[in-house]
Homo-oligomer: A and B are copies of this chain.
């Protein structure tokens, strides 16, 4: 790197010390406006770019945050990242993305490696296959972390979620009011409050209407995508539910294929409702009733709080921020 322009270059050129240059670049009050201007001008002219490693090594600020998510090819997480990025961009922060692909070991490897001071803070949406949260407990002691959407109950960190319980409750009620007598549930995120709350909302609605419920009506998410299709097909064939609630988007689409395969008409024979941020939901055949989470806002909120922690240097009380989801009724649950 011979041609690199550093503070030294600027200092030599302007005949001032490198300390002055550094302070000028950081707009320190110690430096006169006149000098600052000279430094700024030369820096622009020579296209000086601060070396991030050196800066970070000295200041312990990386201007970088990490986002750990299960999967990027999912509209909810893509939108959440958009929200995160918007906030990060404003503060000139960089965003490292890590995908766990729902693998707990990968998740642990990521969190471990982020302990090295590569980032100032971390945003996490937990992998569905993570059932042990010890590594998170260690993590939150050492670096600011904000969890969003997929969160654990007993971790001492800020958590941004949506009103999962109420959403599932309302969705189930919607189906019941449409006349559904047997509503199956596609369970995911068993280990997380997120998943538990959704299921609890479903149960609560059934209870309110004195509806029957058996374990056979529940299909649990499988890492193996093709298994999900098989399991749902088996359940629908055997149990013959007249409605299905998918707790995650990945479980809703197989339902469409299953319905086709079994010659079931949606919504006449089988109504479907799903937690989902698919932007093609209105264009599906038939259009899909969704519980749409404010993904973009969740990202913004989570990032905003992380920066608040980073700036104020104090950890917020372990309060939960809960945003509201929207139930959008479409053809897949039309009451005919």
Contacts and interface: CB of A to CB of B under 8 A. Distances in A.
A55 to B, nearest CB: 8
A72 interface: yes
Interface string A276-292: 00111001111100000
A81 B85 contact: no
A49 interface: yes
Contacts of A51: 57, 116-117
The listed residue with most B CB atoms (<10 A of its CB), out of A50, A75, A98, A283, is: A283
Interface in A12-70: 47, 49-54, 56-57, 60, 62, 64
A49 B1 contact: no
A56 B96 CA distance: 17
A52 B287 contact: no
Interface string A107-136: 000001101111000000000000000000
A99 interface: yes
A58 B239 CA distance: 64
Contacts of A81: 72, 97
A1 B82 contact: no
Contacts of A280: 253, 278, 280, 283-284
Contacts of A98: 95
25 contacts: A1-B60, A47-B112, A47-B115, A49-B112, A49-B113, A49-B116, A51-B57, A51-B117, A52-B117, A52-B118, A53-B53, A53-B54, A54-B57, A72-B81, A72-B82, A73-B78, A95-B98, A96-B96, A278-B280, A280-B280, A280-B283, A280-B284, A283-B285, A285-B285, A285-B286
Given A1-B60, A72-B82, A95-B98, 20 more contacts: A1-B117, A47-B112, A49-B112, A51-B116, A52-B53, A52-B116, A53-B62, A64-B96, A74-B78, A81-B97, A82-B99, A85-B97, A85-B99, A253-B283, A278-B280, A283-B285, A284-B285, A285-B285, A285-B286, A285-B287
Task: Kindly list the 8 A-B residue pairs having the minimum CB-CB distance in the complex, ordered from nearest.
Answer: A285-B285, A49-B116, A73-B78, A53-B57, A53-B56, A53-B53, A280-B280, A97-B97
